[in-house]
Every structure is written in structure tokens, then in C-alpha cells.
């Protein structure tokens, strides 16, 4: 993470430290909320809310409740997604449904969604209305994206367009929404909000595609997860879809039918290289990074802030590509 | 259900008929939403939103989105509670997690909560802010009530005060909130809103206590569920808590330890009668009904509307008591 975003992260941690004390009873409801929120993570989304507000000269304290709302919502979605995906670990710690149980994870997730809405109560008048409307739209789309992700597990012929739409909904709109909401709080114009959201959405797409790339071709020492996870799950990523379109059916099935896990990962990686799927993915990442940067030109920021946005867009896709 | 509330129910059904067409894709996300909402039910909560608005001369069309939001939220809570309670049936039909699966029920429930917030988007200015704030508070309390309900399954010595607080949060605040939100939409004063919410909360408590009474002493032909369900589950209801306080430990355990289900139900019923728990519960129901009626005196309605509130309070507790 970039240095300037780290500055935001530390004030976010501080704000959450105080937040935990606000609601404590019933314990079994709020303990898991505090647990998941205190596992940390990059705090990328709330940092983007603060960045957007900061760029327009809005004090960080004013934007903080919105930043926290976005992070609480993001963590709500992680808690519920982890149940659905039967994930045992999140950020190296047991997921809420594993540490407690599925019922606890459902209900604590529910209350987190409500807490996100409550955090917006600090805003007034048109600002209040605009943040709630923007947030409603984002929240719905995140659910739709998660549904498509689950749907695509059971469909063989997912197209690239369908895949891009799924990651747009599941991941990118929340990043775009974080920037838009930061802009709303700061009083940005409708045109500026479009540019902020556009930047965030395109960065979000490039970010998710980079994650896909690293899941297959990343460095196991820095990626944090096992390399090849998507391959073993048969996940219909951009790489999978491109290779499936370009390879013969036999080639494709031969690689994916190998029983030994390491052999399978290696064979699929070779297939991705041979079909140029890896190259196509890198080009796709570049395309969305460039699209994101084009939005920065439509924003009225002074040079230091422009640099932040540009560095951010590059940093998110240059995580050891 | 009272005749005058039925009039509201039919316009509510009509409004939902159109609502289903608004969101249809992804299918697997929205089908369960339409399914649970179209199972009907009494539509008590949205009817109360309309009643409150109507009493202040507000057109039903204006209050309808708020009424639908309350019903969508109520159904969200049913979908998630049914997963937690492993309930197979809801209104005589398979629950969402049984008809589909738990993942579908989690995610469709989540999107329903967001849909509830979206339905409030129709309101503007202070009204918008006030309904969102009132709704946030209600939604959080419903989650807290569900948590206490689950907590009390594992605690033997639940007190009457704890039980009353649990049903207040889980059931009564949403009924109070429905009336308050109807009043907000209609432009009622702060004092009137307090009276509306107070009426609804007390009616809600009396309503839930009546349900407890009928679960043990009701007529199987009209109650709709098996009589004695709470006894077999060992649920810590008002009857259970009162009898446990008044009976000797031996008497109490003897009744509850019977293996044969029908014998156990009969023995516990006898215990409830012998200890006067049944009488205490009827008195408690009367107390909250009277408290509810006292709030009506603080409302500025003309006689026909006062009658509606009075008949409503009585109807909800005179379901074959």
C-alpha cells in the first residue's frame, strides 16, 4: 500500500478503536462484529473515501463516518460470503462462522449492514439523501455480483463479458462507490462525482483482474494465498475463459483433468501461456488502468492530489505483476 | 383480521404485484424474494403503516412505499430467522432455505434489507431523514431481539424482565416502528409519534404474549400450528418462567421430563394452571392491552379512527383466547 494511503489507514484504525465501544450488548451479536473489523486488512475502501474527501479540501473527521460505513459494509459482505463459500480463514484467522457458527455469522452480518446505514446518520440534508441513495445502489449491486459469482460455478460457458460484469458488481462498484461517497460528503459536483466513481470502478476492475493474475502467476512468498487456487477450484476467471475459447477442447480438458494438484497447476499455467491468455489478461489490466487514469483528467485537483490518484491506480496493479 | 385492516391489505397486495416486476435479474437472487413476499400472511405491519398515515389524512399512495419497506424488512427477518431456526415451513410452504438452499436464503435476505431502504427513497427532506433514522433503530433492535432469543435457548434462568425485553426487541418494536413511520410520512408531531409508537409497542407485546398463550392453550383448529410446540421445545416463555418460579423444582422437572409428547404437553398445561401461570399471562396481556389503549387518548383522531385503534388492540389479543 502506498505511503499516503497509510496515513489514512492509521486514522481509520483509531476511529474504529472508539467505535467498538459504542455497541457491546448482546455480546454474542457484537463480539463477532468487533472481531472481524479488528482483523484489519488494507482498509483500502475507507481510505478511498477519505482520499476523495481530502482532495476536495473536506476535513477527514467529516468524512470518517462515511469511510467507516463503507468498511463495515465491506466486512458484512465478507462475513456472509465466507459462509456461502465455506471459507475457513480470513486474513489468516478463523472466519466468523468457523470461530462461532453460521447463525452467529448471519445475524452479526445483518447488524453490520444496519450499522453501515447508521454511520451515515451524521450527514444532513441533501448530503444525507445522496449518500444513502449512492450506498443503496452499491449495496444492491454487490449482492447481485455475489449471486452471479455463485451462478457461474454451475455454468460452463461463461463469457468474458459476463465475467467482467460479475467482477464489476461484486468488487468494482464498491470501490467506485467509496470514492463517490467521499466526493458527496465533500460537496463535489455531479460531473466530479461521475469522474470519481468512474476512476474507482475502472481501478476496481484492474485490481480484481490483477488478483486473478497473481492467483495463477504470482509469487507465493508475497501473494499471501496458495498460488493456483483458482485453477484447482476450476473458477471461470478471465484466464480460464480466454484459454477455453482459444485452445482445442482436448488441450483444455487434458490440462484440467490432471489429478495431481501441482501437475495440474503447472499444465494449466502452460496452457494459459501457450494460448496467450496471460498476455490478454495483462492487456486487459492495462486497458482498465488507462481508463481509470483518463478519469483523473476530468477532476479539478492540484498536482500533488493528481499524483496520489495516478500512483494509486498503478500501485494496485503493480503488486508484483 | 379486522375488516378495516383488510381494506389496507388488498391495496398492499396490489402494490406488491407491481413491485415484483421491478427487479428480476439475477433470477436466483430475486425469485426467492418474490416467493416469500407472495406467500402473503396477514400484512399486519404494512397495514399499520397505512393506518397511521390514513388517520392523519395522508393519502395511502404516499404511505405505500413505507408500508412495503416494513413488510419487505419483516420478510427479510423471517428468511434469515428460518435458516437459524432450521424451520421447514413458513405459512404452510417450504421456507426459502429448504426450497432453495441456505446460501440463497442468506443472499436473498440481504438484498431484501437493501430493498427496504430503497423503498424509502421516495421520501424527501426531513421526512426521508426521519424515516431512515426510525428504521435504522428498529432494524438494529430486531437483530438484537433475535440474538437474545437464541441466547436464551442456552440459559436456564431467564427472568420475566429478560423475556419481556426479548419479545419487545424481536417483535414489538417493529410494530411500534410501523406506526411511527406511518406517522412520520403523514407529518405527525413528535408527541403524536411517541403515542403511535407507544401504542404499537404495547400492542406488539400483548400480541406476542397472546401467541405464547395460544401455543399452549389454543384451539388446534384455529391456531394454525401444533399446540404445545413451545412446551416440546422447552422454550422459556412467560408461562415457563412463571411456573418455574412458582412450582417446586420436583413438580417442574417431573412435568417437563415426561417422554411421551402428548402426556408431557398435558402435564405441563396442568402445571401452568396449578401454578396460576396461565392466569398471570392473561393478566399480563390485559395490562399491555390497557397500556396500548391509553396511548390512543393522546392521539388527535376523530371517533371512527379512535375506534379502529381500539378494535385493533382488542382484535389482536382476542384471537380465541
pLDDT digits (tens, 9 = 90+) for A163-211: 999 999 999 999 999 999 999 999 999 999 999 999 999 999 999 999 9
Q: Which among A106, A118, A147 has the least Cβ separation from residue B136?
A: A118
Is some CB atom of chain A closer than 8 A to the CB atom of B31? no
DSSP for A189-247 reads -HHHHHHHHHHHHHHHHHHHHHHHHHHHHS-HHHHSS-TTHHHHHT---HHHHHHHHHS
Q: Nearest to residue B237, comparing CAs of B290, B199, B188, B281?
A: B281
d(Cα B115, Cα B136) in Å, to the nearest integer? 14
Average pLDDT for A90-107 = 96
Give A299's DSSP letter: S
B205: exposed, middle or buried (Cβ count in 10 Å: 0-12, 13-18, 19+): buried
The percentage of residues in chain A with a pLDDT greater than 90, rounded to a whole number, is 88
Q: Which among A83, A128, A148 has the least Cβ separation from residue B129?
A: A128
CB-based contact A143 B102, cutoff 8 Å: no
d(Cα B159, Cα B154) in Å, to the nearest integer? 13
DSSP for A243-269 reads HHHHS-HHHHHHHHH-SSHHHHHHHHH
Is some CB atom of chain B closer than 8 A to the CB atom of A232? no
Give the model's pLDDT for residue A316.
87
Q: ipTM of this model?
A: 0.95
Do residues B214 and B237 touch, judged by C-beta distance below 8 A?
A: no
Q: Which among A106, A115, A140 has the least Cβ separation from residue B84?
A: A106
3-class SS of residue B22? coil
User: What chain B residue is nearest to A146 in terms of C-alpha separation?
Assistant: B107
Is some CB atom of chain A closer than 8 A to the CB atom of B133? yes
Lowest mean pLDDT among B55-59, B176-180, B194-198, B226-230: B226-230
- Phi, psi dihedral angles at B93 (to 5 degrees): -120, 160
d(Cα A300, Cα A49) in Å, to the nearest integer? 17
The percentage of residues in chain B with a pLDDT greater than 70, rounded to a whole number, is 98
pLDDT band at B222; cut points 50, 70, 90 = confident
Give the model's pLDDT for residue A67.
98
Is some CB atom of chain B closer than 8 A to the CB atom of A134? no
Average pLDDT over chain A, rounded to whole?
95
pLDDT band at A23; cut points 50, 70, 90 = confident
Q: Which among A26, A103, A121 has the least Cβ separation from residue B133?
A: A121
CB-based contact B106 A107, cutoff 8 Å: no
Residue A6 has pLDDT above 90, yes or no: no
Which residues of chain B make contact with A114, given a CB cutoff of 8 A?
Answer: 113, 136, 139-140, 143
Is some CB atom of chain A closer than 8 A to the CB atom of B87? no
Give the model's pLDDT for residue A219.
87
C-alpha count within 13 angstroms, C-beta hemisphere, residue B31: 11
Alpha-carbon distance B101 to nearest alpha carbon in chain A (angstroms): 10
Average pLDDT for B205-223 = 92
Q: Which among B83, B111, B143 has the least Cβ separation from residue A29?
A: B143
Alpha-carbon distance B8 to nearest alpha carbon in chain A (angstroms): 28
Torsion over CA of B278, B281, B286 and B290, rounded to 10 degrees?
Answer: 170
CB-based contact B114 A136, cutoff 8 Å: yes
Q: pTM for this one?
A: 0.96
Do residues B145 and B168 touch, judged by C-beta distance below 8 A?
A: yes
Which residues of chain B make contact with A100, given a CB cutoff of 8 A?
Answer: none
Give the model's pLDDT for residue A320.
60
Residues 6+ apart with CB under 8 A from A10: none
d(Cα B15, Cα B22) in Å, to the nearest integer? 11
Average pLDDT over chain B, rounded to whole?
95
Task: Count the Cβ atoms, other than its own, within 10 Å of residue A88.
Answer: 12
pLDDT band at A321; cut points 50, 70, 90 = low
Which residues of chain B make contact with A112, given a CB cutoff of 8 A?
Answer: none
Residue with cell 393519502: B59
Average pLDDT for B112-130 = 98
C-alpha count within 13 angstroms, C-beta hemisphere, residue B87: 20
Give the model's pLDDT for residue B320.
60
Element (H, E) at A286: helix A277-296
Ranges of H-type helices in chain B: 3-19, 27-38, 44-55, 60-84, 96-99, 102-119, 125-153, 160-167, 173-185, 190-217, 220-223, 229-233, 238-246, 249-257, 261-274, 277-296, 303-317
What would the grid cell of residue A91 be? 486474513
Residue with cell 405441563: B268
As beta bridge partners, residue B90 has B93
3-class SS of residue A94? strand
**Per-residue pLDDT tens digits for A103-118:** 999 999 999 999 999 9
- Phi, psi dihedral angles at A94 (to 5 degrees): -60, 140
CB-based contact B129 A133, cutoff 8 Å: no
User: What chain A residue is nearest to B148 in terms of C-alpha separation?
Assistant: A26
Is some CB atom of chain A closer than 8 A to the CB atom of B84? yes
Alpha-carbon distance B198 to nearest alpha carbon in chain A (angstroms): 23
Alpha-carbon distance A36 to nearest alpha carbon in chain B (angstroms): 18
Residue B7 has pLDDT above 90, yes or no: no
B114 vs A73, A164, A307, CA distance in Å? 12, 24, 36
Alpha-carbon distance B308 to nearest alpha carbon in chain A (angstroms): 33
**Per-residue pLDDT tens digits for A294-308:** 999 999 999 989 999
Give the model's pLDDT for residue A142.
98
What's the per-residue H, E or C state across B174-215? HHHHHHHHHHHHCCCCHHHHHHHHHHHHHHHHHHHHHHHHHH
CB-based contact B26 A107, cutoff 8 Å: no
Q: Which among B29, B132, B151 has the least Cβ separation from residue A143?
A: B29
Which residues of chain B make contact with A124, given a CB cutoff of 8 A?
Answer: 129
Residue with cell 462462522: A97
Lowest mean pLDDT among A115-124, A215-224, B184-193, B198-207: A215-224
Q: Taking CA A92 as the corner, what is the angle to CA A88 and CA A98, rounded to the nearest 5 degrees? A: 30
pLDDT band at B316; cut points 50, 70, 90 = confident
The percentage of residues in chain B with a pLDDT greater than 90, rounded to a whole number, is 88
**Per-residue pLDDT tens digits for A139-160:** 999 999 999 999 999 998 999 9
Residue A1 has pLDDT above 60, yes or no: no
Q: Nearest to residue A51, comparing CAs of A302, A315, A308, A311?
A: A308
Give the model's pLDDT for residue B38.
93
d(Cα A54, Cα B21) in Å, to the nearest integer? 41
Alpha-carbon distance A138 to nearest alpha carbon in chain B (angstroms): 10
Is some CB atom of chain B closer than 8 A to the CB atom of A91? no
Is some CB atom of chain A closer than 8 A to the CB atom of B318? no
Torsion over CA of B77, B136, A171 and A297, rounded to 10 degrees?
Answer: 160
Residue B223 has pLDDT above 80, yes or no: no
Amino acid at each position: 500500500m502506498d505511503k499516503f494511503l497509510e496515513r489514512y489507514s492509521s486514522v481509520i484504525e483509531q476511529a474504529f478503536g472508539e467505535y467498538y465501544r459504542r455497541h457491546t450488548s448482546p455480546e454474542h451479536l457484537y463480539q463477532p462484529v468487533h472481531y472481524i473489523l479488528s482483523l484489519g486488512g488494507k482498509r483500502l475502501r475507507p481510505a478511498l473515501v477519505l482520499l476523495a474527501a481530502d482532495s476536495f479540501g473536506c476535513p477527514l473527521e467529516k468524512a470518517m463516518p462515511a469511510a467507516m460505513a463503507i468498511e463495515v459494509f465491506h466486512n458484512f459482505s465478507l462475513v456472509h460470503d465466507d459462509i456461502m463459500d465455506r471459507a475457513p480463514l480470513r486474513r489468516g484467522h478463523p472466519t466468523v462462522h468457523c470461530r462461532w457458527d453460521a447463525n452467529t455469522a448471519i445475524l452479526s452480518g445483518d447488524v453490520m449492514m444496519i450499522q453501515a446505514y447508521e454511520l451515515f446518520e451524521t450527514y444532513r440534508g441533501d448530503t444525507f439523501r445522496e449518500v444513502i441513495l449512492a450506498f443503496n445502489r452499491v449495496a444492491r449491486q454487490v449482492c447481485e455480483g455475489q449471486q452471479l459469482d455463485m451462478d457461474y460455478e454451475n455454468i460452463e460457458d461463461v463469457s468474458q463479458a459476463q465475467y467482467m460484469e460479475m467482477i464489476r458488481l461484486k468488487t468494482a462498484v464498491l470501490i467506485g462507490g467509496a470514492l463517490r461517497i467521499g466526493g458527496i460528503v465533500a460537496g463535489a459536483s455531479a460531473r466530479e462525482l461521475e469522474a470519481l466513481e468512474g476512476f474507482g470502478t475502472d481501478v476496481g476492475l484492474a485490481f480484481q483482474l490483477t488478483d486473478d493474475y497473481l492467483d495463477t502467476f504470482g509469487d507465493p512468498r508475497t501473494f499471501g494465498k496458495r498460488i493456483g487456487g483458482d485453477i484447482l477450484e476450476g473458477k471461470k476467471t478471465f484466464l480460464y475463459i480466454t484459454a477455453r475459447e482459444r485452445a482445442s477442447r482436448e488441450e483444455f480438458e487434458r490440462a484440467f483433468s490432471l489429478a495431481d494438484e501441482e501437475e495440474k497447476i503447472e499444465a494449466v499455467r502452460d496452457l494459459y501461456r501457450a494460448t496467450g491468455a496471460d498476455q490478454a489478461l495483462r492487456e486487459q489490466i492495462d486497458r482498465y488502468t488507462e481508463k481509470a487514469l483518463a478519469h483523473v483528467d476530468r477532476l479539478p485537483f492540484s498536482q500533488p492530489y493528481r499524483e496520489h490518484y495516478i500512483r494509486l491506480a498503478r500501485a494496485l496493479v503493480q503488486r508484483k505483476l
